[in-house]
Amino acid sequence: MPWIAEDGLRLDHMLAVQPWTQWLTLLFQVMPVFFLVGGYSNAASWDAAQRSGTPYGNWVADRARRLIGPVVPLILAWAAIAFVFRRFGVSYEMIKHGSILALVPMWFLVV
């Protein structure tokens, strides 16, 4: 995770740099909220699909289409941004870290 130190931009893990912050992760967990909200949303959607007689395959295909729709333009835009940054001399390492920060949150869409 990038952060600004006295000597410039650092790409270290903040919890390793400031160990006293590790206990805060017990109080401020974000991912369980994503899973609870996602689970509730999927359950409500599946319930509505069952009431309307939508087959399971159609429901899954519709859900996948709604998730993939925004992801494809994001990936294409990020690829274009990375290409432009590289052409302007931004290091591969910085583009790699920026890409991780920009795209890694998409893993939970699969869940």
Q: What is the pLDDT of residues 45-70, one digit of tens each?
A: 999 999 999 999 999 999 889 888 88
Question: 9-57 pLDDT, tens per residue?
Answer: 766 677 777 788 888 887 888 778 888 888 898 899 999 999 999 999 9
Mean pLDDT to the nearest integer, 83-93: 93
Between CA 52 and CA 33 the distance in angstroms is 28
Q: Answer yes or no: is 14 within a domain.
A: no
Total number of domains constituting the chain: 1
In-domain check, residue 19: no
Instruction: Give a yes or no: residue 67 inside a domain.
Output: yes
SS3 108: helix
DSSP secondary structure string for all residues of 49-77: HHHHT--HHHHHHHHHHHHHHHHHHHHHH
Q: Is residue 23 part of a domain?
A: no
Contact predicate 103/78, CB 8 Å: yes
The length of the chain is 111
Supply the pLDDT for residue 110.
Answer: 67
Instruction: Answer yes or no: is 54 within a domain.
Output: yes
